[in-house]
Amino acid sequence: MNKILLILFFITVSACVNKAETSKNLAVNTENNLKIGKEEQEDIIDKYLKNGAWKHESYSREYQEEINKGLAKDSTIAYLWQQKAMPLFKQGKYEIGMEFIDKAVKYDRRKWQEYRAFMKCIFAKDYRDAIADFQDYKKKYGYGYVMDHSYDFYIGLSYLQLNEFKKAEDIFQKDYDRTLNEKDKDWLHHLDLFYYGISRYEQKDYEGAIEMFDKALIIYPQFSDVLCYKAESLRRLGKVKEGDELTKDCKLFAEKGFTINEDNVKYEKYPYQIRWY
What CATH number does residue 268 fall under?
1.25.40.10
> Does residue 76 form part of some domain?
yes
pLDDT at 11: 45
Task: Give the end of a domain, one of 82, 107, 132.
Answer: 107
Distance CA 127, CA 119 (A): 10
Task: Give the end of a domain, one of 107, 125, 147.
Answer: 107
Q: What is the pLDDT along the chain (277 residues), one digit of tens a residue?
A: 555 544 444 444 444 444 445 444 444 443 444 455 889 999 999 999 999 999 999 999 999 999 999 999 999 999 999 999 999 999 999 999 999 999 999 999 999 999 999 999 999 999 999 999 999 999 999 999 999 999 999 999 999 999 999 999 999 999 999 999 999 899 999 999 999 999 999 999 999 999 999 999 999 999 999 999 999 999 999 999 999 999 999 999 999 999 999 999 999 999 999 988 6
Domain that residue 226 falls in: 189-277
> Does residue 27 form part of some domain?
no
pLDDT at 221: 97
Distance CA 14, CA 139 (A): 45
> Does residue 156 form part of some domain?
no
Distance CA 14, CA 210 (A): 78
Sign, CA dihedral 130-136-139-141, equals negative
> Does residue 87 form part of some domain?
yes
Distance CA 220, CA 108 (A): 37
> Does residue 248 form part of some domain?
yes
pLDDT at 36: 55
Distance CA 97, CA 81 (A): 9
pLDDT at 27: 43
Work out how many domains the chain is built from and give that number: 2
> Does residue 179 form part of some domain?
no
Task: Give the end of a domain, one of 73, 89, 107.
Answer: 107
pLDDT at 275: 86
> Does residue 50 form part of some domain?
yes
> Does residue 6 form part of some domain?
no
The predicted model scores a pTM of 0.85
- Is the CB of residue 114 less than 8 Å from the CB of residue 144? yes
Distance CA 216, CA 196 (A): 10
Dihedrals φ, ψ of 149, to 5°? -135, 155
